[in-house]
Amino acid sequence: MRNSEWQSGGQLDWLLSEKGPFHRCPEYMEFRERFQQGFSTRYKIYREFSHWKVNSLATEKRDFLRSPLPLAPEFLRNLRLLGRRPTLQQINENLIKKYGTHFLVSATLGGEESLTIFLDKQKLNKKSEGSSNSSVVSLELLHQLAASYFTDRESTLRRLHHLQIATAAIKVTETRTGPLGCSNYDSLDSVSSVLVHSPENKIHLKGLQDVLPEFLRGRFVEAALSYVACNSEGELLCRNNDCWCRCSPRFPECNCPFADIKVMERNLEKSRDAWDSSNQEFMESDEFKGLLKRLPADRFLNVSTIANFWSADLSLQKRYAQLESNNALVVGKAQKVVRKLFTLSKRCPKHPRISLPRERPVGFWLSRAQSLLYCNEHGVQGSFSEEVKSCSCPAEQPTCQGAVPCVVGTSSTSCSSCAADNVTRCGACHHGNLLHLGSCRPSIAASLDHYLNFDLDMPDAEVLKYLLQRLDSRIEVHAIYISNDVRLGSWFNPAWRKRMLLTLKSNKNKSNLIHMLMGISFQICLTKNSTLEPVPAIYVNPFGGSHSESWFMPVNQPDFPDWERTRLDAVVTAQCYNWTLTMGNTWKSFFETVHIYLRSRILTDDPTVNETLFYEPLDLDDQTSNLGYMKINTLKVFGYSLHFDPEGIKDLILQLDYPYTQGTQDAAFLMLLEMRDRVNRLSPPAPQPLDLFSCLLRHRLKLSAGEVARIKDSLQLFNSKLPNASPEPELAQLCS
C-alpha cells in the first residue's frame, strides 16, 4: 500500500503549463484529471512481473569499439537534408516530429496489475461525522477492501464501485498492463504494452543529440527544449533564472496557457465557495444563534454592547476560533493559487480575474449580529448603519428594516427605558429630561424673570460704562448713610479708625428688589498742608444680616480695580479729592449694605520706611500731634436694582417637597438650579467662591438654617442625577 500527498511548490509551477509530450502521457493525464476534480490523496496497491531486459548496444559499440552507428538510411537522409546551419523549425520537422527527442538505451519488459483509489479526506471526514450509519465509507474500510483485491478481485471491485456511486469522496481505477492486459501475446510486439510501471526507473533513455554530428548537437538541444517547453510554437529563452517562449508569428499567445489558467480560476472559485460555506456554517451554528437569542430586545444595542455579550460567551469564542482556523487554511490555499495564476499569466495579453476572500474579524460578526437584529424583516437580510440607525436593504426587497428600539443610556437624549407598547419610543426619561412625543429632550429651566430678573434695563453695556465713568445720577442707588463717627460735610479729627455704612434696608422698604453694586465714590477734603492720606477699607454685605456676613473688597490686589483719585481745584481753602472705585460688569456683585472703615496714613518721602504709618495718637487731648483735619462731603454707591419675588421663589421651593406632577417638580428643580448658578456666578474674587445663594435664602426669604441646608442638599442630589453632570465646585460659606 502506498500513500502519496500532492503539494505543489513554486519550483514546480512549470508543470502546470500544458507543454511537451510529458503532459500527454497517460499517467500525467490521469493525475491531472484526478487533481482537478479535487481529490487530495491516492492509495495504490499493485503487483508486477518481468520477463526480460532489453539493451541497445549501438552506442556501446561506438564508444568501445569505435565502430560507426548503425543508423537507418532514412534517418541519415534527414540529417543530410538539414545542412550545416538548420533552423529550429527544420530540426522540428525532420527529426523531432519523426523520431522524438530521446532514444531507448535499456528497459525492463513485463507487466503490472494495480488498483488505485483517489479520495478527498476532507469530504470523507465530514460525511463520517454527519452520519451514524455504519455503512458509511471510512479509511479503515478502504484499507480492508484494498488489501483483499488480489484474493477476491470481483467482490472487492463490486463493493468499491458501489461506494464510488454512493459518495463523491472516492474514485476507483484498475490498471492491468503487459500480457495480463492483453487478449493474447501478439501484443508483445508493442514495447509500450509490456513496459513495467513501477516506482523504480526500469526504462533508460538518452537524448537524441548523442547520435548526431557534433555541429548539430547544440542546435538540436535548443530545438528539443523549445519543442518540449513551447510546444513547437516558439523558441525557448532563458535569462536571469527566468524562461519564456519567443512566440512565432503563427502563435502570438504561446506564453499564455489558457486552459491551465481556467483551471486555476476554477480552483480559486472553489476556495471562495469553501470560504462562503465555512462562514455560513458559523452563522447557522448553535453558538452564534445562542448569542442572538441572549441579546435583549427591549433597548437598542450598539456594537460595544454586543461585544460584551460576545466576550462573555466562551463556547462562541471557541467556535469562532475554529472558523478562523478553517478560513486561514482556505485563504492560504487561495493565495497559492493566486501566485500560480500570476506565474502562468505573467506574459499573457490580459490578466485573469482574481478575487480573494476578505478577512472577517470579530467586528464584522458584531455588525452582522446587529444587522440580524434590526434588518432581517420579511426573511431578507440587510446591512445596519449605527450612525444613522437605518438599514441598507437589497434592491429586490427594500423593506428589510425591522423595529429599532429606543436608545437607553446616560446621555442627554437617551431614554431611561423604552415604552412597553412600542419599543421604538421612550417610555421614561432621566432627571432633567422631558418625555415629548416618544423621545427625551433636555428640560430647559423656564424664564426666571418672574422670580429674579437678571436683565438690566440699560440697552447697551457701553452706555452703562459711560454713565459709570461720569458718576451719572441715573445709575446711583440711593442708600441710607449711618455713622456715629463721621457727619457728612463736617470736619473731623482723622485720628483712629472711623466707621461708616450705606444700607438699603430692602426687607423693610424694598422687599421686591435686590441690588447690584458696580461702583463707589466719595468726596473727601483735607486741611491745607496736611501730611495725612485717607486709607478706606470696604466690606460688602450682599443680602443683609450681621457685619460678619460681609466680604472684604480686595482693592489694589492683582486683576482687581484700584481707587481713582481726582483733585478738585475749585476748592481753595482745602485739598479736596474725588475717590472712585469702578467695578463695572466684570466685578459687579450683590449688595445690601456697604461698610466703610477709614483710617489715615502719614505721608513720608523716606525710602527706607517700608511700613505704613497710621496716625493714631496715644492721647486724645494731645493737640501737638494733630496733623490736620478731614471732611467727607458725599458718599455714594452706583449700580442698579433687579426685580425680586420672594413669595414666588418660596412657592418653587414648596414644589420640591409637594410636587403636583413629576414634570412640575423637575421644572422647579431646574429653575432653582439655574437661579443658584446665576447668583453664585456673581461671587466676588476670592481663592474659593462664596455661596451667595444660601445668603439669599437665609436673609431675603427668611428661611431657617436647617431649611437652607435641606434645599442645598436637594439641589445637589438632583444635579448629580442629570445626564453628563459635572462635579459642583466647593463653595465657601459666608452666611451661617
Strand duo 390-392 + 415-418: pairing: unpaired
Do 654 and 713 lie in a common domain? yes
Query: Are 362 and 489 contained in the same domain?
Result: no
E runs forming strands in 6-64: 41-55
Q: In sequence order, what DSSP letters do the residues of 356-410 get, joined into one string?
A: PPPP--HHHHHHHHHHHHHS-GGG---EEETTTTEEE--TT--------PPPBSS
Residue 178 lies in a domain: yes
Q: Are 634 and 506 part of one and the same domain?
A: yes
Q: Distance (Å, rounded) from C-alpha 537 to C-alpha 553? A: 8
The average pLDDT across 396-406 equals 83
Least trusted range by pLDDT, from 162-166, 272-276, 519-523: 162-166
Q: Give the position of cell 431657617.
A: 704
Model confidence at 73: pLDDT above 80: yes
**Contact criterion met (CB below 8 Å) for 685 and 554:** yes
**Do 53 and 199 belong together in one domain?**
yes
Residues 336 and 472 both lie in one domain: no
Instruction: Output the CA angle 687-555-685, nearest 5 degrees.
Output: 25
| pLDDT at residue number 46 | 74
**Domain end marker among 343, 374, 405:** 374
Do 332 and 225 share a domain, yes or no? no
Handedness of CA 135, 138, 142, 143 (dihedral sign): negative
Question: How many domains, in total, are found in the chain?
Answer: 3
Q: How confident is the model at residue 182 (pLDDT cuts 50, 70, 90)?
A: very low
Query: What is d(CA 355, CA 270) in angstroms, rounded to the nearest whole number?
Result: 11
Q: Is residue 454 part of a domain?
A: no
Residue range(s) defining the domain that contains residue 520? 459-736
Let me know if residue 436 belongs to a domain: no
What CA–CA distance (Å, rounded) separates 419 from 422?
Answer: 5
DSSP H or E stretch at residue 535: strand 532-541
Q: Can you tell me the distance from the alpha carbon of 277 to that of 193, in angstroms, rounded to the nearest whole number?
A: 46
Say what the pLDDT of residue 130 is. 55
Residues 289 and 153 in one domain: no
Contact yes or no for 42/118 (Cβ under 8 A): yes
- What sections of 130-191 are H helices per DSSP? 139-147, 153-166
Q: How far apart are the first and last CA of the chain?
A: 103
Judgement on whether residues 64 and 155 belong to the same structural domain of the protein: yes
pLDDT digits (tens, 9 = 90+) for 207-248: 888 888 888 888 888 888 888 878 777 788 888 877 878 887
Domain assignment present for 302: yes
Question: All 3 cell numbers of residue 79?
Answer: 540529417
Contact 598, 498 (CB under 8 A): yes
Tell me the pLDDT tens digit for each residue of 32-61. Answer: 666 656 677 777 887 776 666 777 777 777
Note the helical H segments in 591-661: 646-657
Task: Answer whether residue 357 is part of any domain.
Answer: yes
417 pLDDT more than 80: yes
Q: Is residue 365 part of a domain?
A: yes
Residue 132 pLDDT > 70, yes or no? no
Per the DSSP assignment, residues forming a β-bridge with 598 are 498, 536
Going by C-alpha positions, the residue among 647, 615, 618, 642 that lies closest to residue 629 is: 615
In a domain, 54, yes or no: yes
Phi-psi region of 245 (alpha: psi -120 to 50; beta: other; left: phi over 0): beta
- pLDDT for residue 543: 92
Question: Does residue 418 sit within a domain?
Answer: no
Q: Is 319 found in the same domain as 197?
A: no
Q: What one-character DSSP code corresponds to residue 93?
A: I
Domain boundary among 205, 234, 255: 255
CB contact at 8 A, 435 and 426:
yes
Regarding whether 291 and 165 lie in a shared domain, the answer is: no
Task: Pick the last residue of a domain from 189, 222, 255.
Answer: 255
Instruction: Say yes or no to pLDDT of 367 above 80.
Output: yes
pLDDT at 13 over 60: no
Shared domain check, 597 and 497:
yes
652-701: pLDDT as tens digits: 888 887 765 555 787 888 889 989 999 999 998 888 999 999 999 999 99
Please give the Cα distance from 709 to 703 (Å, whole number). Answer: 10
pLDDT for 395: 80
CA distance 228 to 223: 9
pLDDT for 498 beyond 80:
yes
Grid coordinates standing for 410? 446616560
What's the predicted TM-score (pTM) here?
Answer: 0.49
Which pLDDT band, with edges at 50, 70 and 90, does 185 fall under?
very low
pLDDT of 596 reads 94
Residues 244 and 286 in one domain: no
